């Protein structure tokens, strides 16, 4: 590793295989995200049910500071909304903007340093979770969480890619998968604990514990500070040359790949918006003597992402032995889109089998489990693709921009969710199956055409 890179805070060479064959810095990044995702997904698992069952009802909604103006703005744009539709629209806007602000967070991180941006973001998110402990500060809480996530998400993801050499494509892809596993550990534990506390002690207790774990994430990140690069993009500042024609083409190709990935995200993320409401209305949660808490379903898909990871690694290695290399990131994204779309057909079949009765808890469990496998096929490969292919001069900004996929997808998830009451449940989930299938077809076609520009380029021959 170059002296300049070490001076910027990157890990030394002897740490390059210290964490399961990966750089030591990856461990701190993964565990930081585990804590942060614990808080985020713990809160998100409660959010829609909290709005539908308490916050937006008479006697509560009047006490939310600024909500009358906020609701007038929402309904001015989308028309009158029922309680469920309003909750879905708020969920989509909040979750979408959580992933929109990383574009600006990446821009800020390129200038003040990614490490500084992550620390400020973690502090803002901690304040947001604390503000969720009161109905009155609900909108302030969402604002702080949006700002904090913007500073944290893109910058910490850019740091993951930066701890690997540029040519180390396969280990980088596995590194992002391990990073996502850390995310998924937090995503499993958060809904379980926050959901249990909310069920037994009230919504605001569940929200408050999320703040504690966000502070735990900050402490973890600070403890690994010296192993992390301060500024991911500085190696590009050695030259002031503008982007080349090829680099501009790569950026356009990456934007198209991101747009295609919106489809599986819609098919996947409806499990966080409308699924809890559908379970409350149509699910049979009785598992013998035990009633399964609905927020727990948000833990199933990340759990199966973790369980499926070793199997996916083995599958990708086997495919690589047969063809000389693993399937490309675009092929993996297309496969994930088909899996996420297909998961929705499980609910369609279960609804048809139940007739006028309630759907047994095991079928939505299976739906969430399959979605977890689809997630590992579509999201880590996208991050790896952007980290590898984006020109160094704009790498951190492009990593932040990759979260625009989730901004668009979540807003569409929220908007589509407002039509839930107007469609039959079977038609609603069948619609999402079709959305996932569309994304899969587009990704496979793109991988065989213009998307080939994103394939790794051979290294130039060494000078003699």
Please check the confidence at residue 463 and state whether its pLDDT lies above 70: no
Name the pTM for this structure.
Answer: 0.83
Quick one: CA dihedral 252, 254, 260, 266, positive or negative?
negative
Kindly provide the residue ranges of all beta strands, DSSP E only, lying in 160-224, ordered along the sequence. Answer: none
Task: Give per-residue pLDDT as tens, 315-371.
Answer: 888 888 877 778 888 999 999 999 999 999 999 999 999 998 999 999 999 999 999
pLDDT confidence bin for 156, thresholds 50/70/90: confident
Count Cα atoms within 13 angstroms, Cβ side, for 330. Answer: 25
pLDDT confidence bin for 289, thresholds 50/70/90: confident
How far apart are the C-alpha atoms of 399 and 386, rounded to whole Å?
6
Mean pLDDT of 204-228: 85
**Two structure tokens written together for 64:** 């939310």
The DSSP bridge partners found for residue 22 are 19
pLDDT confidence bin for 230, thresholds 50/70/90: low
**Two structure tokens written together for 96:** 């979408």
Residue 190 in contact with residue 210, Cβ under 8 Å? yes
Q: What are phi and psi of 19, to 5 degrees?
A: -120, 95
- 65: burial class by Cβ within 10 Å (0-12, 13-18, 19+)? middle
Spell out the residues 6+ positions from residue 65 whose beta carbon is closer than 8 angstroms to its own: 136, 137, 138, 139, 140
Task: Give per-residue pLDDT as tens, 354-413.
Answer: 998 999 999 999 999 999 999 999 988 998 899 888 888 888 678 768 878 999 999 999
How far apart are the C-alpha atoms of 196 and 203, rounded to whole Å?
10
463 backbone φψ class: left, alpha, beta (φ>0; ψ -120 to 50): beta
Quote the pLDDT of residue 231.
Answer: 65
Does domain 8-234+244-454 fall under CATH 1.20.1250.20? My reply is yes
Element (H, E) at 167: none
Task: Give per-residue pLDDT as tens, 52-87.
Answer: 999 999 999 999 999 999 999 999 999 999 999 999
Strands 290-291 and 283-284: unpaired
Kindly provide the residue ranges of all beta strands, DSSP E only, lying in 186-303, ordered along the sequence. Answer: 283-284, 286-287, 290-291
Spell out the residues 6+ positions from residue 84 whose beta carbon is closer than 8 angstroms to its own: 52, 277, 420, 421
User: In 3D, which of 224, 172, 177, 227 has the Cα closest to residue 395?
Assistant: 172
Task: Give per-residue pLDDT as tens, 102-149.
Answer: 878 878 887 888 888 889 999 999 899 989 888 999 999 999 999 998
């Amino acid at each position: 590793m170059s002296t300049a890179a070490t001076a910027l805070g990157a890990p030394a060479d002897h740490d390059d295989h210290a964490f399961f064959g990966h750089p030591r810095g990856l461990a701190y990044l993964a565990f930081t995200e585990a804590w942060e995702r614990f808080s985020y997904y713990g809160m998100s698992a409660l959010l829609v049910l909290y709005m539908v069952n308490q916050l937006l009802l008479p006697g509560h909604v009047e006490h939310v500071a600024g909500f009358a103006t906020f609701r007038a703005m929402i309904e001015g744009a989308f028309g009158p909304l029922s309680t469920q539709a309003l909750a879905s629209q708020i969920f989509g806007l909040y979750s979408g903007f959580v992933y929109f602000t990383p574009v600006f967070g990446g821009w800020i991180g390129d200038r003040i340093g990614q490490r500084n941006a992550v620390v400020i973001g973690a502090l803002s998110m901690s304040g947001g979770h604390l503000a969720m402990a009161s109905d009155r500060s609900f909108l302030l809480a969402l604002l702080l969480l949006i700002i904090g996530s913007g500073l944290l998400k893109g910058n910490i993801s850019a740091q993951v890619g930066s701890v690997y050499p540029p040519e180390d494509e396969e280990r980088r892809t596995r590194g992002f998968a391990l990073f996502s596993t850390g995310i998924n550990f937090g995503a499993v534990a958060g809904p379980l604990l926050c959901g249990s506390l909310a069920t037994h002690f009230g919504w605001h207790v569940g929200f408050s514990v999320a703040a504690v774990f966000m502070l735990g994430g900050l402490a973890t990140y600070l403890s690994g500070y010296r192993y992390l690069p301060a500024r991911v993009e500085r190696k590009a500042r050695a030259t002031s040359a503008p982007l080349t024609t090829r680099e501009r083409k790569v950026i356009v190709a990456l934007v198209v790949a991101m747009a295609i990935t919106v489809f599986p995200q819609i098919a996947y993320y409806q499990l966080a918006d409308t699924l809890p409401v559908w379970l409350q209305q149509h699910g049979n949660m009785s598992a013998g003597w035990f009633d399964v808490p609905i927020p727990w379903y948000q833990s199933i898909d990340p759990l199966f992402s973790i369980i499926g990871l070793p199997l996916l690694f083995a599958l990708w290695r086997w495919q690589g032995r047969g063809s000389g290399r693993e399937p490309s990131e675009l092929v993996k994204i297309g496969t994930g889109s088909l899996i996420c779309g297909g998961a929705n057909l499980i609910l369609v079949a279960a609804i048809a089998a139940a007739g006028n009765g309630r759907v047994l808890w095991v079928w939505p469990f299976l739906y969430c489990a399959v979605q977890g496998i689809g997630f590992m096929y579509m999201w880590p490969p996208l991050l790896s693709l952007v980290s590898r292919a984006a020109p160094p001069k704009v790498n951190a900004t492009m990593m932040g921009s990759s979260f625009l996929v989730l901004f668009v997808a979540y807003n569409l998830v929220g908007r589509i969710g407002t039509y839930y009451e107007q469609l039959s449940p079977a038609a609603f989930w069948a619609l999402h199956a079709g959305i996932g299938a569309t994304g899969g077809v587009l990704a496979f076609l793109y991988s065989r055409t213009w998307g080939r520009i994103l394939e790794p380029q051979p290294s130039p021959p060494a000078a003699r």
